[in-house]
Amino acid sequence: MSFATLTFPVINEKYEQPTGLFIGNEFVKAKSGKTFEVTSPIDESVLCELQQAESEDVEVAVQTAYKAFKSWRFTPPNERGKLLNKLAELIDEEKETLARIDSLDNGKALHCSRFDVNIVAEYIRYCAGFCDKLDGRTIITDTEHFTYTKREPLGVCGAITPWNFPLLMFAWKIGPALATGNTVVLKPASATPLSNLYACTLIKKAGFPPGVVNVIPGSGRGCGNAILQHPLIKKVAFTGSTEVGKTVMKECANTIKKVTLELGGKSPNIVFQDCNVEQTIQNLITGIFFNGGEVCCAGSRIYIEARDEKWYNDFLAKFKTAIEKLKIGNPFEEGVFQGAQTTPDQFQTVLDYIKVGKDSKLKLLTGGNRIGTKGYFVEPTIFYDVAQDSKLTEEEIFGPVGVVVPFKTVDDLIEKANDSLFGLAAGIHTEDFNKAIYVSDRVEAGSVWVNTYNDFHPSAPFGGYKESGIGREMGLEAFDNYTQTKLVRAKVNKPTF
């Protein structure tokens, strides 16, 4: 299958991009012969054409994965661990190229892409270490039975990943699936499939058997639905919007699949007056502007204590100054903090929400405009003194737009923080440890970060409460999503001596 030669802007370095579907360790053409264009959000240019998977390609990929599963499931755990460790090594060796591909395809600043790739390598290595440690247990019931459990793989696992963290979501899906003896058919987002396909060259180079990992870019309608509906796929892992997540659950119900969902968020980021101001401002910037705000757990509802009006106003002034120092632009330029929004549709959505804020006469602290006329660049934007029932407070914007909602009592704060359909994450900024634990215990969120934000670690589980999802990524909990428990109970007869 052919490769396309692509060039990274500004640095003017080239690399070879696979353009086929990755099935059975080979890059192949789509059965239909259809292709689709991948464009750059940096300048809206066409990067390349890729083969487009349809339902018939899903069928081939699933059958290939199912055949591979029959032997892969019985591959000794330490051998699976060696392959995953080898993959982690190869990712480390290629980490700069992988980061650049994500920045080219996604528009995110290079420091964000490098952050992602580092976690990818660490997480694959973490999963490798668990291959031979996922045990069952012996159950003592009586002297006439030998009873034990074992954890077994599910089979072929389908994965559908989003465009905001292409390579990171790839790792979060394949890592625990492969460690537990499953095989994978993964559909990356059509907008950002390039790093996933490049990573497939490393899958093959690491020595994974053909069919263990299959990556097939295509549309949600033509490819994604076929994954959800296929009877040989026993588990689906989906990361994306809450609305699409609801559809995923419904489609998977027809064939009774195990489902994990990592969905939307509108996370509260809480600032108390006894916080470390400089550190907190940097945490707020990370919480809402990292990755261009295209983060499901973005701390876009900023609750700031306002009992002391002077302190509140001074804090906002410092926050504004720090935001306006951020460099926005081409991800490959030196010192850029925020790159482009990833898709034209999401870019327009962000601008539409900003317009709602302006039309509603919300107070604008900073930002509020498009940058330039080419590419999808938006100023980091903060509205302040916003009401709890504002559209911008309630709805996920998925871009560099946040709202500041003042509060005066802890009880008022907790009620406001939990007044949401979502429950993915929360941030708490205070020097009072007792206060931090008190609020952590009461906020309805799957992850709570204290005096930090977007602070991930492979051993720390991540996932949501309420309409932010089901199941957990990373940590020991992730392996539960990819295994099932088998009970073996054997009758023990008294032997003849």
- Calculate the alpha carbon distances from 45 to 17, 329, 466 in Å: 16, 16, 39
Question: How many angstroms separate the CA atoms of 379 and 199, rounded?
Answer: 32
Question: How many angstroms separate the CA atoms of 203 and 23, rounded?
Answer: 12
Q: For 316, phi and psi rounded to 5 degrees?
A: -60, -40
**Measuring CA to CA, which residue among 80, 75, 74, 116 is closest to residue 98?**
116
What is the edge-to-edge ordering of all strands in the sheet holding 145-153?
138-139, 145-153, 483-491
Question: How many angstroms separate the CA atoms of 338 and 290, rounded?
Answer: 7
Question: How many angstroms separate the CA atoms of 61 and 184, rounded?
Answer: 9
Question: How many angstroms separate the CA atoms of 436 and 429, rounded?
Answer: 8
Q: Are 152 and 181 in contact (CB under 8 A)?
A: yes
Point out the catalytic residue in the list 262, 294, 379, 467: 262
- Give yes or no: 262 in active site: yes
> Could you write out the three-class secondary structure of the chain?
CCEEEEEECCCCEEEEEECCEEECCEEECCCCCCEEEEECCCCCCEEEEEECECHHHHHHHHHHHHHHHHHHCCCCHHHHHHHHHHHHHHHHHCHHHHHHHHHHHHCCCHHHHHHHHHHHHHHHHHHHHHCCCCCCCEECCCCCEEEEEEEEECCEEEEECCCCCHHHHHHHHHHHHHHCCCEEEEECCCCCCHHHHHHHHHHHHHCCCCCCEEECCECHHHHHHHHHHCCCEEEEEEECCHHHHHHHHHHHHCCCCEEEEECCCCCEEEECCCCCHHHHHHHHHHHHHHHHHCCCCCCCEEEEECCCHHHHHHHHHHHHHHHHCCCECCCCCCCCCECCCCCHHHHHHHHHHHHHHHHCCCEEEECCCEECCCCCEECCEEEECCCCCCHHHHCCCCCCEEEEEEECCHHHHHHHHCCCCEECEEEEECCCHHHHHHHHHHCCCCEEEECCCCCCCCCCCECCEECCEECCECCCHHHHCCEEEEEEEEECCCCCC
Q: Which residues are catalytic?
A: 262
